[in-house]
Amino acid sequence: MSEPKEVEHEITISAPAAEVYRLIADVANWPRIFPPTIYVDHLERSGNEELIGIWATAGGQAKNWTSRRVLDPEGLRITFRQTVSAPPVASMGGTWIIEPLDEATSRVRLLHDYTAVDDDPAGLAWIDEAVDRNSRSELAALRTNVELATASDELTFSFEDTVQVDGAAKDLYDFVNEADRWSERLPHVATVRLTEDTPGLQTLEMDTRAKDGSTHTTKSYRVCLDGRKIAYKQTTLPALMNLHTGYWTFRETDEGTFASSQHTVVLRPENIAKILGPQAGVAEAREYVRGALSTNSRATLNHAKAYAEARR
């Protein structure tokens, strides 16, 4: 096998280097700063080394892989290597390097090294094109979303709704996992289209009824994890939101069984006045969005509770 090919891409970001490093190092931020990323989960952690599972879209399809990372917070560097690569990639790794240009600006360099299966020239050309395209789009999205994240903390918020259930966590999980049956089980869901070509990776489209009787269509990618968690990222968004991610969790404790629905939202400030009127600001938009999302989440949680308790 020949030596790995090495390439480098870079971009300048209007944010402090330490903040850029923090956002990349904490994989919980990835669905927020990298549009293709649906969810990232820690599989192993030891000191500054970690094994992560990544679920992301590629070509309109949801895919997943694992990557091992080494964090260097002092040097503002993160190295990564895929543990299992998909053909035509034989091996893939690289490094994030964040360099301060001044107190408020940083340069981000993204290095890759890779080889093709059997050193195939056509496979290498495919990887060249994919790495170049993905690196450029990833860095551009990183700049946009890091600058938004560091400049607009008030636009980002998270919240969680929880119900206690006299039933099994597995039944709660099944209720949420079986979203193809939601139009039968949930009054606020009109129609559902669910596909699951890869076990545990779902594409969910549904038409939801609002309080005023109108319906709106949403599309989400969902990652279903071993009966304990279902994480999702909404890809068709209402006009008030730049981002909507979340997860459902189901746990049995000494105090009882609990089901929770968590949401993280980034508001779209330019649409607030158009949607809520000229007097509305960020505070009103936060209240409105939280109310709308929480209403549907609580309805789903309460129906899941009734389903689980009926199966005791």
> What are 91-101's pLDDT values in tens digits?
999 999 999 99
pLDDT of residue 63: 81
- Token pair for 110: 């993204």
181: number of Cβ within 10 Å: 14
Task: Assign 30 to helix, strand or coil.
Answer: helix
62-82: pLDDT as tens digits: 888 899 999 999 999 999 999
- Give the per-residue SS3 of 150-207: HHCHHHEEEEEEEEEECCCHHHHHHHHHCHHHHHHHCCCEEEEEEEEEECCEEEEEEE
Beta strands of 47-177 (E only): which ranges?
A: 49-58, 61-72, 77-82, 89-102, 105-116, 156-165
- Give the per-residue SS3 of 242-286: EEEEEEEEEEEECCEEEEEEEEEEEECHHHHHHHHCCCCCHHHHH
32/35 Cα distance (integer angstroms):
7
143-163: pLDDT as tens digits: 988 888 776 778 999 999 999
68/56 Cα distance (integer angstroms):
16
Tell me if 263 sits within 8 A of 246, measured CB to CB. yes
pLDDT of residue 59: 62
Residue ranges, CATH 3.30.530.20, the chain: 5-151, 154-310
Lowest mean pLDDT of 58-67, 98-107, 171-180, name the range.
Answer: 58-67
- Name the CATH code of domain 5-151 (choices 3.40.50.970, 3.40.640.10, 3.30.530.20, 3.30.70.20): 3.30.530.20
pLDDT-derived band of residue 251, with 50, 70 and 90 as boundaries?
very high
Task: Assign 65 to helix, strand or coil.
Answer: strand
pLDDT of residue 35: 84
Higher-confidence residue of 107 and 254: namely: 107
pLDDT of residue 150: 73
For the chain, the average pLDDT equals: 92
pLDDT-derived band of residue 227, with 50, 70 and 90 as boundaries?
confident
- Name the CATH code of domain 154-310 (choices 3.30.460.80, 3.90.226.10, 3.30.365.10, 3.30.530.20): 3.30.530.20
Share above pLDDT 90 across residues of the chain, in percent, rounded to a whole number: 77
Look at residues 177, 204, 185 and name the one whose alpha carbon lies nearest to residue 302: 185
Look at residues 147, 108, 177, 168 and name the one whose alpha carbon lies nearest to residue 14: 147
pLDDT at 241 over 70: yes
The listed range with the strongest mean pLDDT (46-50, 132-136, 198-202) is: 46-50
**Residue written as token pair 């879209």:** 57
Share above pLDDT 70 across residues of the chain, in percent, rounded to a whole number: 98
pLDDT of residue 1: 66
Q: What pTM was estimated for this model as a whole?
A: 0.85
- Token pair for 81: 């290597």
- Phi then psi for 290, rounded to 5 degrees? -60, -40
Q: Burial-class residue 108 by CB neighbours within 10 Å (0-12, 13-18, 19+).
A: buried
pLDDT of residue 306: 96
